[in-house]
Structure 1
Amino acid sequence: MKIAFFLLPKAEVVYMNEDATMRQVIERMEYHNYTAIPILDKEGKYVGTITEGDLLWKMKHTPNLTFENTESVSLKEIEQKMVNLPVHIDAEIDDLLSLAIAQNFVPVVDDQGIFIGIIRRRDIINYCKELLEKTNLYKKERLS
């Protein structure tokens, strides 16, 4: 099975450009109720993932930083504690699964490292659940 089956395309993904401010990231995450979002550079390449935890650590370790002045903090100034590795669009399903174990979503890139979307762990789990349900239904029908 190709991993593209699970791809949520870039046009449907909430992401931030690396030149955004901390305030913009906070507001976008709050609006969409997300705990992490991908970061892209000006060329559209995936450069990392920013998490709520990263934002909290920045606030904790920056004296006098308040929500009101987060507009002056660049996203580039915020350390990313967790490394969400991307997967290449031609990768095998095993590569995807090993990343999805530790990541809520797996960024997907093309040959040039250009971000083309994400694969959400929940979509993989839902697919597996459906397979199990079909298998169990098939087994029940054979036993009847």
Structure 2
Amino acid sequence: MMSLQNSDFLKATLDELIIPAERVAHVQMGNNLEHALLVLTKTGYTAVPVLDAHFKLHGLISTPLILDHITGLERIQFESLDESKVEHVMKQEIPRIQKNGHFQKALSLLVDNPFVCVEDSDGYFIGILTRRALLKQLQKNIRHIQ
């Protein structure tokens, strides 16, 4: 019986598992929070990447971040959805990996995150690597081992 360590799973390149940027919902830096909330609601995602006009990755915006921003002490301030910009609310410190990064680093990031943003060496957004894609690859390789 072949061990998991000897399988192709650990040798898989990130390229094979990445969802390309053109298929990933995102918002841009200048968008207001209303637009971001619409994107999040319509896609069903809880977080999406924030890009600039040149497709450079700057952070993530999420439903909880938006809701926290518009929730005041007395009421929900819906008017701030239109007035506030994504770049003022987004999380800048996010899990990310270089396109040519190590598979094991991606794996360790995916333990605590549903997806990791993938960028090139200049910070341009390449796509995302999801926990789901990684688990599907693991499942496929486990079937071949047994």
Aligned to 2:50: 39
How far did residue 69 of structure 1 move? Answer: 4.5
Match 1:94 to one of 71, 88, 104: 104
Match 1:76 to one of 62, 87, 106: 87
Q: Are positions 1:58 and 2:58 aligned together?
A: no
Distance 1:53 1:31 in 2: 16
Q: Are positions 1:21 and 2:32 aligned together?
A: yes
Query: CA offsets per residue over residues 29-85 of structure 1, 9 Å max, x none?
Result: 1101000000012221111111121112112248765335511111122152x8322
Q: TM-score, length-normalised on structure 1? A: 0.85
Distance 2:128 2:73 in 1: 31
Aligned to 1:109: 119
Distance 1:86 1:69 in 2: 29
Distance 2:90 2:42 in 1: 22
SS of equivalent residue, structure 1 residue 37? strand
Match 2:59 to one of 41, 48, 51: 48
Question: Residue 84 of structure 1 contacts residue 103 of structure 1 at CA under 8 Å; is this kept in 2?
Answer: no
Amino acid at match of 2:120: D
Distance 2:88 2:111 in 1: 28
Q: Are positions 1:67 and 2:90 aligned together?
A: no
Q: Are positions 1:12 and 2:23 aligned together?
A: yes
Amino acid at match of 1:93: F
How far did residue 96 of structure 1 move? Answer: 0.8
Amino acid at match of 1:28: V
Distance 2:94 2:137 in 1: 22
Question: Residue 59 of structure 2 contacts residue 90 of structure 2 at CA under 8 Å; is this kept in 1?
Answer: no
Aligned to 1:140: none
SS of equivalent residue, structure 1 residue 112? coil
Distance 1:94 1:123 in 2: 14
Aligned length: 135
Amino acid at match of 2:85: S
Tell me, which stretches of 5 or more residues in structure 1 are unaligned? 137-144
Tell me, which stretches of 5 or more residues in structure 2 are unaligned? 1-11
